[in-house]
Chains A and B, each alone.
Chain A
Amino acid sequence: MRRSLRVLQLQETPAASAVVALVVVFSIASAHFRTVSNINDLLLTSLFVLFVAIGMTFVLTAGGIDLSVGSVMGLGGAITGLLLEHGAGTTLALAGGLMSGVVVGLLNGLVITRLKLADFMVTLASLSIVQGIVEMMTANQPINYSGNALGNLSGATVGPVSVAVIYAVVITVIMAFILRFTSFGRAIFAVGMNPRAARLSGINVEATRVLAYVVSGFMAALAGVFLASYLSTVQALQGSGYELEAIAAAVIGGTSLLGGKGSVWGAALGALLLGTLQNGLVLASLSGYWFDVVEGAVIVAAVALGGGLQVLRTIAIPVESRRARAAG
């Protein structure tokens, strides 16, 4: 009884059960879905949303929001591509691309915390600014990835699994560890839950929030490099719309828009849920337009389910505390 209650308390439960249910349904419905190569494809196409959603989880948990990630994806891909074109080594090019995401995140965070402006508006403005910059960088010729060192990121495989998928798993584990077990991660929860209490307990609230935006910018740039490698080209608008998809994935995974509650694993499950849906609907030979409708319905269902579990939790907690008192 107690165990089952504890499962209910996990914020990842709705997303996890939805993913399992979908995978089961699609596996029964389509023989092609359950092939290893299709599952690998599914993971490969979900990892862009996954990276952005992980970064978004840091920002949302700290009580902010980052709308600029869609443009930062384009920026990271473009700068890495340009550096490779000009003969920089792979490491240097990758570092340059990721650094551009860090810089945008840093600027977002500094403007928001120093000038005390609304995060929604600041990151909306930087969405537009960064998009313009990337458009100017890519205006004369689209940056081609097919020939360069990072071009084969999504093609290379270890056995049946893409290398990119392995990277994604490693990165997810690292980010989950950072949010859950480091003092920076704990500070993010504290700042998002109650900034004043966090300040009084000695946490540097501003620095924590700025760092959350830096993480988001970094992850968006990383997603941009992977997307550029996957599509083998960079256009300014190729990341547009990812900000809303990433927020959806994070929230499906149990992260709160009000801050103080978030999970990297939840975000990963949310991204996986959206990816599975897209993959399954294509296999069901429904027009891609259905994905929009179903995605909307899934967001509503997952968040409403999370709310329902919250109600169950508040009913369950008194029972537990009563038991604890009886035992103690």
Chain B
Amino acid sequence: MMAGDSAPRSRPVTVADESRRMKARRMIVMGLANVTRPGAAPALFLVLVTLVMGVLSPNFVSISGWYFMVNESISVALIAIGTTIVLISGGIDLSIGSMIALGGALSGSLLLHGVPMVFAFALVVCVGAGVGVVNGLLIVGLRLPDFIATLAMLTAVRGVLLIWTHGDPILGYMTGSYSRIGGTTKIAPYLSVPILVCLGIAVISAVMLQKTTLGRHIHAIGGNREAAVLAGIRVSRVKIVTYVISGVLAAVSGILLAGYLTEVSPGTNASGYELIAIAAAVMGGASLYGGRGSVFGACLGAVALTVMTNLLQWWNVDPNLSDVLVGVLILLAIALQRLSIVVAERRTPSSRVARPRTARTSGGPGVARG
């Protein structure tokens, strides 16, 4: 395990040699452990972009440049927060893209019908919560796999939206106050309502995950479901709550995206956003196997993905090639995350001891009873 292995050497190794090598090795390991904290991969990328672009073309990383890119990333950042919470609990929510489109279309058409903005937004948030409840009930009540239940909701919600709108885009709902709330109008220098909303939700979610009972229960369920059940955690209820949070955040994201884009096309609005959100959450340190995730890491991941596409546009990279590069960068980010796990295992050798896993027995208790 240690650096000294038993292979024969041509030159006898002195103690000083050995300790120097150990020290160097420990420094490398410690350094790696630091750059592989949750959210470090996107943060590292953002710092690199700032440094390199600061030299090459300062306009790109000027304050207003950052403002526009952060503003653009808000709708993804919000759903990345929701996705992180669901991923920590060991679930996955694929219905997000359709829910964003439904939320945007609903808020737009409610406003067109003269419903006051507060009520319109409240109703949209309620619909988001409702979709979350349905997701949760399908998973907990019918015991469907999370992936399947939310996949079914992805197609079903998009279908409902298309039937309702006949596929016609929703236009003309933008007013001055909507563009102040959801759009790009600044309320202070370099500050918009979406950025404030997202910051607020990020802080609340992070505190909820770290400091509250609910947050600990979410971690517990994702870490070891059986242990959580035995500890008396109401797994079903907590799971439903995570999907409700995800649905509500998707609805808010839909409201903001509708303001940003100033129109909602029911067929294509936010399609594929669920996968972008998962990519952002995983780049920010969330594990697809549950138990781990960071809200601020997810936000950094969302900003990094937006900066990535903006950067490629800035350099006039063929938009098709940028698809390739985004894929490669996602791979690099998760490779870095994998490295952090390997490094963590090296640092604490005891964690390498295999945890006993319960073997799958087909109908075990049933057979024993017979």
Contacts and interface: CB of A to CB of B under 8 A. Distances in A.
Contacts of A5: none
A136 interface: yes
A130 to B, nearest CB: 8
Given A257-B148, A291-B159, A135 B335 contact: no
Contacts of B147: 247, 257
A124 B152 contact: no
A318 B367 contact: yes
A136 B330 CA distance: 20
B143 A317 contact: no
A318 B289 CA distance: 33
B160 A293 contact: yes
Nearest to B147: A257
B366 A111 contact: no
A196 B357 CA distance: 10
Given A117-B335, A260-B360, A132 B321 contact: yes
Contacts of A67: 275
A121 B142 contact: no
Interface string B146-183: 01110111111111101100110000000000000000
Contacts of B145: 251, 257-258, 303
B138 interface: yes
A133 interface: yes
B279 interface: yes
A25 B176 CA distance: 53
Contacts of A303: 142, 144-145, 148
Interface residues of B, number: 53
A127 interface: yes
B54 interface: no
Interface stretch (A142-150, A202-210, A294-302): A294-302
Contacts of A121: 278-279, 282, 288, 330-331, 334
Contact of B162 (A292, A318, A319, A321): A292
Contacts of B151: 244, 247-248, 299
B323 A297 contact: no
A67 B274 CA distance: 13
B152 A194 contact: no
A314 B363 CA distance: 6
B118 interface: no
Interface in A174-231: 193-194, 196-197
14 contacts: A117-B335, A120-B288, A124-B279, A125-B330, A135-B319, A236-B320, A257-B148, A258-B145, A289-B167, A291-B159, A292-B160, A304-B142, A318-B366, A321-B367
Top 6 A-B pairs, shortest CB-CB distance:
A292-B159, A318-B370, A296-B156, A132-B323, A129-B327, A128-B327
